[in-house]
Structure 1
Amino acid sequence: MATATAPLSTPAIPVDRPLSPKEIQIIDAARRLFLEHGYEETSMDAIAAEAGVSKRTVYSHFRSKEMLFVEIMEAMCQHFGLTPQETIDPASPPERYLCASAKFVLAKVMDPRMQSVMRTIAGESAAFPEMGQRFWALGPGNMTAKITEYLRAQDAAGVLSVPDPRLAAGMFQGMVAGPTFLPMLFTGSAPWTADDIDYIARTATAAFLAAHRPKQG
């Protein structure tokens, strides 16, 4: 029985040609099963049954379960990557930039589909270490780099005092994700509301700026 899964807005496997209806059918079935059961517990037989096709048909489109898994997870990493939106202007003052960054991160990591991807990748990281590295580069690592770059510029301009911009960027993200994302990831608690997200983003930003304003005198 297929489980209800919100569709992605991009194909599960990006290719240089249109996906056939049969390929989409197989990809969607495999994605559901991988996210629900993980790599080891999902067989090609199960994928074929979920997709309503023969196992031979699955293999005629995809050489192996490993190839199918890696391609699907790679595409989902790209889909959910934490690439800051262009609306987060790096020329913005610190309060506006950090608050917008916090809201952007929260909107991403609170998506139940994003959490399913993270659980799956974390669970399979021993067998597919490069996948975890790829997710980190596209997701948290990328966002950390962007905030680090911003904080370094603010420190150089004397607007903020940030001796270690990279550490400070990671700590800021921890302030945002700690009380929100982690409980949802491990306990399945209900998503926070838009008002909650706004409050958390503003509170984390205020606390961070209070710690990094240049000392007077």
Structure 2
Amino acid sequence: MTTSTLKKPRVPKTRPVEVRAGRPPKELAGEVDARILDAARQVFLQRGFEGASIDEIAEVARSGKRTIYARFRDKRALFTEVVTRDILARIAEFKADPPVGATIEERLTSVASTLLHWGFDADRIGLMRLAIAEAHRFPDLAANVNRRARALSTELGIHLLRDLTQSDQLGKLPAFAPEHLPTTARMFLDIIAVPMLLRALFEVDLKALDPEIDAHVARGVAFFVAACRTGWVENPKP
């Protein structure tokens, strides 16, 4: 028998690997979206809205332009989503450490200081500045973010005040009754957070504000607690 007459062993046929086109599976879609938005945030902060391009965002995101356009209609839609996510989602994500202090004033000061130091992140403030600068191009976005940010921060204030005052005599005052608590929370934030936020929007070096935060919070908390104890919230009419 010669080697030419030997039969070669049969190799079973294998099916080619199926490659699916289109959107990634659900477990990966969120990761892709987050990567695109993070990249867009970085490019918008560096270049501004006009200077940013989908090409550069795609490069930073390590993603194709087709992938971006499958999710966002254009650069305006992408900018809108970046601003909405970063300003609103960050408020909802705030988690305060357990407050320290023996008195309600000390505990309120502890939480408020944490809130301000957390909020004055350079990128977050930079994005807020950019959103304000582009308000003429995105008037609906500016108004919508402002309304929703105010509502979300008020809910955050309600949650913080309710938790902090429920074991203190302050929580028994009319200002902390359920029907008054939203107004009380809003006033707390307007006294404590808003003035420093306005300072931050115009301060080039945010670290310059750090030494002022604790003193500002201490004064604001003292004023807020004194106002609550003297009954600045009117009793509901019968």
Contact 1:184 1:191 survives alignment (8 Å):
no
Q: Compute the TM-score of the two structures, normalised by the length of structure 2.
A: 0.59
Q: CA deviation at 1:30?
A: 1.4
Counterparts of 1:20 and 1:213, CA distance in 2: 48
User: Could you say which residue in structure 1 is the equivalent of 2:147?
Assistant: 133
Give the 3 Å change call, closer, same or farther, for CA 77–17 of structure 1 in structure 2: farther
Percent identical pairs in the alignment equals 26
Q: Which has the larger displacement, 52-61 or 121-130?
A: 52-61
Which of 103, 106, 115 is residue 113 of structure 2 equivalent to?
A: 103
- Report the structure number with the largest CA radius of gyration: 2
User: Could you say which residue in structure 1 is the equivalent of 2:159?
Assistant: 146
Q: Secondary structure at the match of 2:91?
A: coil
Q: CA deviation at 1:115?
A: 0.8
Structure 1 residue 177 corresponds to structure 2 residue 193: yes
The one-letter code matched in structure 2 to 1:205 is V
User: Could you say which residue in structure 2 is the equivalent of 1:12?
Assistant: none
User: Could you say which residue in structure 1 is the equivalent of 2:172?
Assistant: 157
Q: CA deviation at 1:106?
A: 0.5
Unaligned 5+ runs, structure 2: 1-24, 232-238
The size of the alignment, in residue pairs, is 197
User: Could you say which residue in structure 1 is the equivalent of 2:52?
Assistant: 42
Unaligned 5+ runs, structure 1: 1-14
Q: Compute the TM-score of the two structures, normalised by the length of structure 1.
A: 0.63
Which of 194, 217, 224 is residue 208 of structure 1 equivalent to?
A: 224
Give the 3 Å change call, closer, same or farther, for CA 16–132 of structure 1 in structure 2: farther
Give the 3 Å change call, closer, same or farther, for CA 177–192 of structure 1 in structure 2: farther
Which of 43, 64, 88 is residue 33 of structure 1 equivalent to?
A: 43
The one-letter code matched in structure 1 to 2:139 is A
Counterparts of 1:173 and 1:25, CA distance in 2: 33
Counterparts of 1:209 and 1:166, CA distance in 2: 16
User: Could you say which residue in structure 2 is the equivalent of 1:112?
Assistant: 122
